[in-house]
Amino acid sequence: MQRVLEHLRKDLGKRHAGSPRRGEDPQALRFHAMGRNGNWAVVMTVDEPCPERADDVLDIVSTLPLTVSRRQRAAVGELVACLNALADDGRFEGPDASGRVHCRGLHRIPADAVPSSLRLLVERHIALVDRHLPSFFAVVAGGQTPTEAVSQLERMRRFA
């Protein structure tokens, strides 16, 4: 666990990571991701390895930069289900009781992992959130249905 945290602190910590907030895990690394479609808070923690495996588990959680009203939660929940069916790496969760949507990625980190592979995991997570963020905005602020937002996302992927 300490090895993974040290790699992340050296790589991301110099530029982005902040101190944990009160009540948070002191081992958590926080930073603000900046994608093409917005910016959002990211928290990374490393879970202790299982006794039968030496792999650590890196938990990356992004909090999307929007709050979903109670009347929009069903539509956003449907969008979350649709996007999770398309996502390769990570899962969207929510909206929670406060109306926030999160994206979580759990990654096993082998004992021989190098810093560049950890950076790649973080970059893939950020790209996943950034790629799907417009769909959330389209449903919450643009009045699109989840089906319309996913169709638009798929069209954009084909022509990108």
d(CA 131, CA 153): 8
pTM as predicted: 0.83
pLDDT band of 23, cuts 50, 70, 90: low
Which of 2-11, 15-24, 54-63, 69-78 is least confident? 15-24
Residue 4, token pair as written in the block? 């993974």
Residue 56: its pLDDT value, please? 81
d(CA 127, CA 120): 10
d(CA 39, CA 109): 26
Three-class SS state of 29: strand
Question: Mean pLDDT over residues 20-44, rounded?
Answer: 80
Do 72 and 80 meet the contact criterion of CB atoms below 8 Å apart?
Answer: no
Instruction: Looking at the structure, give the CATH architecture of the domain made up of residues 2-159.
Output: 2-Layer Sandwich (3.30)
* Percent over 90 (pLDDT), the chain: 47
Three-class SS state of 79: helix
For 38-53, write each residue's pLDDT tens digit. 999 999 888 765 566 6
Map 89-128 to HEC letters: CCEEECCCCCCEEEEEEEEEECCCCCHHHHHHHHHHHHHH
- Residue 2 backbone dihedrals phi, psi, to 5 degrees: -60, -35
Question: Mean pLDDT over residues 26-49, rounded?
Answer: 84
Show me where the domains of the chain are located. 2-159
Which of 22-31, 67-76, 121-130, 133-142 is least confident? 22-31
Name which residue leads in pLDDT, 13 or 140. 140
For 123-137, write each residue's pLDDT tens digit. 999 999 999 999 999
* Residue recorded with tokens 């979350």: 80
d(CA 129, CA 107): 16
